[in-house]
Structures are given as C-alpha cells and as structure tokens.
Copies of this chain bind each other. A is one copy, B any other.
Amino acid sequence: MLHSKLIHPKSIVVVGGSDNIHSPGGRVLKNLIDHQYKGQLFVVNPKQDCVQGVKAYNHINDIPEVDLAIIAISAKYVFETVKVLTQQKNTKGFIIFSAGFSEKDENGEKLEKEIVELINKAGGSLLGPNNIGLINNYYTGVFTTPIPKLDEKGVDFISGSGATAVFIIEAAKSMGLTFSSIYTVGNSAQVGVEEILEYLDDSFKKETSSKVKLLYIESIKNPLKFLKHTASLIRKGCKIAAIKAGSSEAGNRAASSHTGAIANSDVFIDTLFKKAGIIRCYGRNELITVAGILQQKESEGKNIAIITHAGGPAVMLTDVLSKNGLIIPHLEGKESEALLNQLFDGSSVSNPIDFLATGNAEQLGSIIDYCETASEIDAMAVIFGSPGLTTVDDVYAVLDEKIRTSKKPIYAILPSVVNVKNEIQEFIKKGNIAFHDEVLFGNALTKVYNHSSIRDETKDPDFKNFQEARKLVDALPDGYMSTESAVTLLEYAGVKFATPYNVKNEVELDQVSKSIPYPVVLKVEGPLHKSDVGGVILNISTEAELHDSFYKLMRIEGATSVIIQPMIKGMELFIGAKKETNYPHVILCGMGGIFVEVLKDISASMIPVSENVALKMITDLKAYPILKGVRGQSGINIKLFAETIVNISNLLLMVPEIAEIDLNPLMATAKDLTAVDVRIRLERTDEKLQPNEFNEIA
C-alpha cells in the first residue's frame, strides 16, 4: 500500500531545487509553485538560501520534518540524503528523479537496493528512481511539461516510461482528455505498476474516484498481483485500457511441443489482460482515443447513428464500424420523414444522416433529438468540420449542450483542426472530448464496443482426486512423464484416454494382441518426435499385422517399448497448456492436425478456466463451424470439449508443476471425447501458489 504522504504530502522538500528551470530540480519546483501546491515547500540547495522565492537550506540536515522528498541530485549523493530523511526527518514519501541506478550497472543496482532498504525500514514509499514523478489533484511533482488539465473525473494513468507519459499528455491535449492522476514508476525499485494498481483499488470510492485507468507497461513483475487489482477495479465499475510494449520480443521459443512453439510470452499478456477485462491497445494514439470514448456515457448497444454534414468521412466511418461488427441501422418511418422535412433538400436521414454542407445548428439539434428518442439507436457519432467559409460556434454549442443532456453517448468528430481550431478549443474547454480522424475513432470505438468483460462463473473447481494426483506427481522427477503416469494423471483429472498397453517384449505382445479390440494403433516409446521417425502405425486389424509392426517399431533407434491402443475414430482435437515464469498457466485449444500446425487456429485462456470461458474459447475458433458439423458431417460434443478444457484447468491448479501438457490429438465424435496421445513435462519452481488463491484473484 502506498504511504498517504506520497499521495497527499502536507510538506515537500525538493532536494536539488534551483533557479535553473531547465534542470529537473528547478523545473519541478516551478511546476509545484505554478500549480499552487498548498502545503509547505522547502528546497535543499548547497549554495542558496532562497530558490524561486522558496526557503532553501544548504544541507539536508538543516530542514525541518517533511512528508515527501523529491530528489533531483546526482545518484551518488542519494543514499546519504535518504538516510537523513528516513532517520531524522520522518519522511515517508520519496520521488527520486536521479538516474544511474539499476538501469545503468551492477553498482547502481546495489545502491538502489540499499536505498529501498532504508525506505522499507522507515515504512515509506518510493516512486522511481529514474522517473519523471507524479501528478495528482494535490500536487504536480514532475519535472516535465506540459501539466495536463487536472480533473477529479479525468483518467488515472500509470506509465512505465516517463517520456511516453509526456508524449501521451501532449497528444491528449488536442483531444481534451483530462487526468485525475499520473504516476511514473521509472525503475520500479519499490513501487511498480502493480503497487499503484493496489493503491487505486484499495482507495477506490464509487462516488468520487475516476472510473477510467490507463496503463503503459513494459514489464509486469507480479502478474497475479496485477491481475488481482485490475480485475477488482473492473468489478467495481472501472474501465482499464493498457499498452504492454515489447510484445514482439520472442519469448520461450525453444520448447519442444507444439504448445511450446505457439505460446510465446505475448499470449500470456493477452490472456492475462482478457482474464482481468483490460482493453489492450498498441499505440499512444489508440490508447487516448479509447480513453476518450471510455470517458463518455456508456452505450446500451451497438447501434450507431452517424450524423454528418460531409459525406466522405461518414462513409469511411460506416465502413470501419460495420466491418468490425457495429451496426449502422437503416432509419425509416414517420418520425424519420418528419425529421427529413426539417432539413434542406437533398439531405438524407436513412443513416448516415447527412444534413449537407449547408446544415446548421438548429438542424443538428433536431437530428440529435430524433436519435435520442429513436429506439433503433444506442449512440451517435457527429462529424462536423468546416470548409472555412463560416463559423461553427453555434453548431458546437448545440453539440456541447446535447452531449450534456442526452442519455445516449454522443461522440464529436471535429476534423477541421485548422479552419475551426479556436472553436474546437472552446468546445474542449467546456469539458468535452473532440476526436479528429473518423477512422482512428472508429477503430477505437469498435475495440471498446466489442470488448467483453463477461465475468467467469466462480464455480468451485473440482479437486476430488487431489490427494492421488499430488501423490503421483510428488514421486516423479522433473522432465517428461511416462505415458503410463500421464494417463493415470489424466484419469484423476477426469479426462478419458484410449487405454494404452505398454508392450516391451513378445510375451506382453501375445497377451495384448489376443485381448485388445481391433483395429489398433502402435506408437514407439523412446524417441520424442514419433512421427518424424516413422514411429506411428495406424489401423492394424489383425494379430499377424500387429506382430510385424511391433518388431518394425522396436528396430527404431532409441525405441524402449511400443504403446498399443485401440484405434479411435473421430475429429482430431487439441488441448495444450504452458507455463512461463511467474504467470499462471495458459490453456490452448483447437482442432488438431493442420488446424493447429499450419493454420494456427487456436484459442487461449489463462487458468482457471470456467465452462463459460471454455465455450467461448471453442466458439472463437475459426474452425468452430466444423466442430458444429458442416457438409453433411455430424459435429462433435462441444459441451464435452469444454468440460475437458475445464478438467485440464483444474488439473493445472492441482499440479502447478506441469510446465507443459499436450493432448494431441483427442478424438471427438458426437458422443465421445477420448485423448489418444499425451505429453506432460514437470518442472518445479520456487513459486508456491495454492489452487484456491486463484479463485480469490480471478
């Protein structure tokens, strides 16, 4: 939990404050003064007694007790300063701008750790080092410009990069996006994105807190903490949009199974965000456009009226919205005809509603009033610029009034950033958001409207064979499990497997060949990639064939035995799961064979996976129509497929040591679902997370 003195300090000392406003220490002081910090303000400056009109002390030892220290001095002096502050000045809040710590070298890292220890010991909170600071409604503790418009209902923004925060603030300005708070974490030595999320979560007040959070993240150190607080904030009614940069860095690509090859790090971020309900963005412009949309009233549906005085932008907006699943309903009937009569000749009300280049403020008012009552419409996008002949103040005044009074959201797309620049500024000053490019807006709108944050059902996972599973696994070493153990583990998890007979010699072969139902399939044990070495023989229907095939397989290099299974017919499915560092497992599913290998038609979710989420994974597959049945072929039992995914999810909760699991293929029919091949790899880590913790979190 962040210390309240970091958030609401009654006194601040700027260590390294100066009259040079081109230096961090000088600029942060100027920002604090300019934006009327109400508490006590001190400066430590070795040479001056007064800096920018503020009392300055020559040495840190001389200052009175102080809540927050903003430190802008060379890295080598920081430790001593923090020592004095923590031990003598009762300081609990620290912002350290200085660079030269863990981002630089090992010595810096050591120094950083020592500073954190001092602060931890004092029970304080540290933002930084190597950051640009913190802005909230209480104080503007940053050394950068511009300071954005602050507003209790503005967005809360946490940034892993100071420069990116600045550029986002700059870009947000022309849209009119306001902020409630901005945190930059720098090296995240003590307080990272997760801790700030925890603070926002714990201190959230339904009536007064901002409902929109933006994140720019480069790394997530503690995914579970991240998940816990983002999910909690979203449950409380917040919307979160986030950029996780570095998504193309190849993750763990060396894994041997298909799952390994497919699930690189980015799928962990993707499924983590999905689980929490975060809207994922990929660029600054997209992030602030999404934020601008989230700051409007919420829409009850996906039916959009496009209101315009210019055809072109309306057509492009229609294209992007309807291509992405939003609806531009055709409007007709008595009311729409009555509306048409109020517009100039040549106007169209069928949607887009085009009231022509000559359209005026009064007409816009009538159109919005019509849409406000029309049951076919959930939201309005108004496009209104100017070719430069006339002013548009009156139009924007109507737009402003209607945005405030209407129940449905109205999005203002104001493209004339040159011709009516001042009118747009005026419109923004009144607290509105102005979008400028209809297609960038349209892409963001579909992202927001198509974002589903359906909560999982929090049914208790089924752990009935927990003890047996633990006992089995605890007795095994790390590495690939034998088929026998793996099949037993699947049984505990409730997953059906085509009974495999592990045959090592002629005696065993004779026994099996007489009792097993034909046709059967033979797979060599030993070599990892069986198919590549010709280690799989299908469709053996006689005892004689079975004998021949057995010896053929045993001659393969590395062969230790042969697995003989009844040959199961059906559609090939695939379920896999993978773990990476300290993230929960990600489960993947799809159709087997070429669908997973060539077409990469795969759905992914982070555990725990409920049946609803499993069903969504299945319906999201491109191959879903095939699973349902096409071209006269019957489909598979989709409920059973979903249940199997849930069973695997529960297995992973019971046995978190499973680093990789591959069921490929499972054979599915309209009635049945049977796994015919399995590979499980165990890898123990230090991390100990009990199954039930997940349910608390997600």
Contacts and interface: CB of A to CB of B under 8 A. Distances in A.
A594 interface: yes
A689 interface: no
A316 B248 CA distance: 9
Secondary structure at the A interface, as helix, strand, loop or mixed, is loop
Contact of A312 (B161, B318, B385, B598): B161
A357 B163 contact: yes
B598 A282 contact: no
Interface residues of A, number: 84
B388 A419 contact: no
Interface in A324-351: 345-346
Nearest to A413: B167
Interface string A424-454: 0000000000001111101000000000000
B163 A310 contact: yes
A46 to B, nearest CB: 21
A626 B595 CA distance: 10
A245 B315 contact: yes
A415 B436 CA distance: 17
A218 B166 contact: no
Contacts of A319: 245-248, 282
Nearest to A324: B248
Given A22-B389, A437-B171, A630-B598, A146 B312 contact: no
A390 B161 contact: no
A311 B248 contact: no
A361 interface: no
A508 interface: no
A593 interface: yes
A48 interface: no
A416 interface: yes
A323 B246 CA distance: 11
B631 A144 contact: no
Contacts of A632: 531
Nearest to A322: B248
5 cross-chain pairs, A with B, having the tightest CB-CB distances, nearest first: A283-B439, A145-B388, A164-B312, A163-B310, A161-B312
Interface of A: 22-24, 27, 99-100, 103-104, 132, 143-146, 159-164, 166-167, 169-171, 173-174, 216, 218, 243, 245-248, 282-286, 309-313, 315-316, 318-320, 322-323, 345-346, 357, 385-390, 415-419, 436-440, 442, 531, 593-594, 597-599, 601, 622-623, 625-626, 630-632
